[in-house]
A = this chain, B = another copy of it.
Amino acid sequence: MDADVTPELRADDVSFGVPDARLLRAIDDHGSVSAAAAGLGRSRARATGRLDELEAAFGSLVERVRGGASGGGTELTAGAHDLLARFARLQAALSGVAAAEECVLEGRVTAVDGELATVATPVGALRALAPEGADRVQLSIRADAVTLHAPDEAPPAGGTSARNRLTGSVRAVERGESVAHVRLVVDGEDGQAEFVALVTLESVDRLGLTTDSEVVATFKATATRATGLVG
């Protein structure tokens, strides 16, 4: 089972999505709507109409010329480049999240302050963003949100904005080409949990992480999400 995500940027009830980004990029490559549409296997009339629709919501995206030495053509505006850049950032961020490994913990909400909740879990009380009214929840802590520290150099609680902090031991270091998944075992009074952190190989080496190493893991409350559990 894989997670997939379809990103969209919305303005005035019009959504800019993957096919739209493809169209703009093809226009940039070919210099015309005709060639772009043909290259994408789309009808030119539809592509033109879509550009009109997008422009009505997002502002000027293309400059179209009919006639001339080359017969005419279409170029992207700076606004289109900005929109494409923003879309690319969103897509990269969302794809990264969809692909990330996570540690899932069940827990009970014991205190609430606005959207922030304190959740009792097998490995202790953790802070997370939670929906209103949730009681029994699951916490998701993604591998790219977990920072690892050498135990004697971990930041003191009062000196950092990372509100969650656990001590555990390394169960495995799975090295990739330039990053590694570090799997931790954290023991608590009410149980045990396995965490995973995605860190650079440089961090693995600098921290001297190997099986059975002791390590401190920190992660932000504002990057930790709780969702309600039913059934």
Give residues in A with beta carbon < 8 Å to B: 1-11, 15, 28, 58, 76, 78, 81, 84-86, 88-94, 96-98, 102, 104, 113-116, 127, 129, 138, 140, 142-145, 147-150, 152-163, 176-179, 197-200, 202-203, 206-207, 218, 220-223, 225-231
Contact = CB atoms under 8 A, between A and B. Distances in A.
A223 B147 CA distance: 10
A96 B102 CA distance: 15
Q: 4 tightest A-B contacts by CB?
A: A153-B159, A114-B178, A114-B177, A161-B203
A152 to B, nearest CB: 8
B144 A223 contact: yes
Contacts of A127: 200
A115 B201 CA distance: 12
Contacts of A2: 9-11
Contact of A11 (B1, B113, B147): B1
A116 B163 contact: no
Contact of A97 (B86, B97, B149, B157): B97
Contacts of A85: 138, 227, 229
Given A5-B6, A114-B177, A92 B155 contact: no
Contacts of A178: 113-116
Given A4-B15, A7-B3, A220-B147, A158 B90 contact: no
A178 B127 CA distance: 12
Contacts of A76: 231
Given A9-B1, A206-B158, A229-B85, A200 B163 contact: yes
Nearest to A16: B1
A102 B89 contact: yes
Given A85-B229, A114-B177, 20 more contacts: A1-B86, A3-B9, A4-B15, A6-B6, A78-B231, A88-B138, A89-B104, A89-B140, A92-B227, A93-B97, A97-B97, A113-B177, A144-B222, A144-B223, A145-B223, A149-B155, A149-B160, A153-B159, A155-B160, A160-B203
Nearest to A104: B89
